[in-house]
Amino acid sequence: MSDLLAISPEVADALSRGKPIVALETSIVGQGLPHPYNLRAARESEAAIREEGAVPATVAVMDGRVHVGLTDADLQRIAAGAIKVSSRDLGWATGRGAIGATTVAATMRAAAMAGVRFFATGGIGGVHRGRPEDQSADLVELSRTPVAVFCAGAKIILDLPLTLERLESFGVPVLGYGTDEFPAFYSKHSGCPVSARVDKPIDVARVLQASWATGTRGVVIAVPPPAELEGAEELVQRAVRELADVSGPDLTPRLLARVAELSNGKSLDLNVDLVVNNARVAARVASAFSELRKGSS
C-alpha cells in the first residue's frame, strides 16, 4: 500500500473484517454546494450509510496524503477552503501538501487504491453541451477503475446522449436502479435508455460480481432522484446561454450555482436529497455484495 494513502482506523477495520464500505467525494463540500448545504450533504450521506450497516469512507487530500475516511473536523477543513482535485491532480496535490476536495474521478482512484469498490455521489461528469471535446475525466476513470458509482445519472447541464455514447464506447455499463431510463440529475427522465435495469440490491450485487469477474472496470448505477425540480431543463438552458463564455473546471460549479439562483434555492435542497439517497442505495448494495461474497466463500 502506498505511503501516500492514509486510511482511517474505522475504514481499515472494516476492510480487514470484510464489512461493506461506501466511498464519498468531497468536491461537493469544497466546490459543489454552498454553505450550509455542502456539510449537510456530507454529514447526512455518512449517516445514511451507517444506518444501512455500512461504513462511510469520505475521501480528500490533506497534509501530503490521500485520506480515505475523514473526521468531521476534516470535513470542516475542506469546507473552509480546498482546491478541486481530479485524478490527474492527485500527485502534485499530495506532493505540495495541498488541501484538496476530490472529484468523482479522484475519489474512484483513491477508493480503488484502498480496496473500496462502492462509491456514491450526486451526478457524474460527462460531455458538455455544444462542446463535445470538453469531456470529464470521470468518464475515462470509469473505463479504468473497478468501482461501482451510484449517482442520479449525469448532471443535467451536460449533453446526456453524448455522455452515454462515450460510456458505451469505453465499455462502461450503465445500470438503471428501478428504471429503464437514465436519470437527468434533477429529473427522473432524460429520454435516454440505460444498458440494463436492476430492481433490488441483490440484483445489483450479482451483476457487479459477474461484471468484475469478466473484466469490466467501472460500472454506473443510475438512481432516480427522490423528487424532481420543476422546469429543470428550461433553467439549465438559460444558465448555459448566460455562461456561454465560461469553460474549464469552473464551468460545472458555475452552471449549478446559476441553476440554484434561478430556482430560488430549490435545486440545492434536491441536490442534498439525491446525494443522500444515492449513498443509502450504495450502502444497501454494498451490504448485499458483502453477503454474496460470504455465501460463495
Catalytic site residues? 25, 155
Question: Which SS3 state, helix, strand or coil, does residue 123 take?
Answer: coil
Q: Three cell numbers at 179?
A: 428504471
In contact, 5 and 68? CB cutoff 8 Å: yes
Dihedral (CA of 284, 289, 290, 296) sign: positive
Phi, psi of 240 (to 5 degrees): -60, -40
Question: Which SS3 state, helix, strand or coil, does residue 77 take?
Answer: helix
Q: Which residue has the cell 454494498?
A: 286
Q: How far apart are CA 64 and CA 202, in angstroms?
A: 38
Counting every residue written for the chain, the total comes to: 297
Q: Three cell numbers at 130?
A: 455544444
Q: Three cell numbers at 16?
A: 480487514
Question: Which SS3 state, helix, strand or coil, does residue 208 take?
Answer: helix
| Spatial CB neighbours of 147, under 8 Å, sequence gap ≥ 6 | 23, 108, 111, 112, 116, 117, 118, 119, 218, 219
| Spatial CB neighbours of 89, under 8 Å, sequence gap ≥ 6 | 83, 100, 106
